[in-house]
Amino acid sequence: MKSKFLLPHLYKKIGWSITIPFLIIGILLFPLGDVFFKNATWLTFLDNFPGQYTDEIIAAGLIMGMLLVAFSKEKVEDEYINKVRLESLQISVLINYLLLIICILLIYDVEFLSVMTYNMFTILLLFIIRFNFIIYRNK
């Protein structure tokens, strides 16, 4: 089966080269930012930007990189890869929404906004992790 919606394999490498730096910066600045970087002098250049668009740039870069990784062909694209791709997508959507339902029931107010922010990335992240794990395990 030939898929119309997959990018050439080259885009997977481009996607990883975008995803990894944005993921590292996102992990360092957001969850740990208040604890480790409150008085960091090397981050003062970010204060000069009007509107402070750092988090939007990091989120957009991370999503673009993960989309390139998730929707790029493997070197050898066959029926097995298509089956694993479909199952990984189904499982990642299912897990994402189960976690979201749990969070809706247990988390309120401003903390829920953080949950929704992380929810933007979970489907792609779970898909990429599961898909690559299954492919790696069966090589």
pLDDT, tens digit, for every residue of 25-60? 888 877 655 545 555 555 555 556 555 677 888 899
Q: Which has the higher per-residue pLDDT, 114 or 38?
A: 114
Mean per-residue pLDDT for 99-127? 89
* 85's tokens: 């791709």
What is the pLDDT at residue 84? 94
pTM: 0.81
Between residues 88 and 50, the one the model is more confident about: 88
Domain limits of the chain? Answer: 1-75, 78-139
CB 38 within 8 A of CB 109: no
Residues 127, 92: contact at Cβ < 8 Å? Answer: yes
pLDDT at position 88 is 96
Token output for 98: 């189960």
Judge contact between 83 and 23, C-beta under 8 A. Answer: no
Lookup: tokens for 1: 């089966």
Summarised one tens digit per residue, pLDDT across range 8-33 is 999 999 999 999 999 988 888 776 55
Q: Which residues contact 65 (CB under 8 A, 6 or more apart)?
A: 15, 16, 17, 18, 19, 20, 22, 23
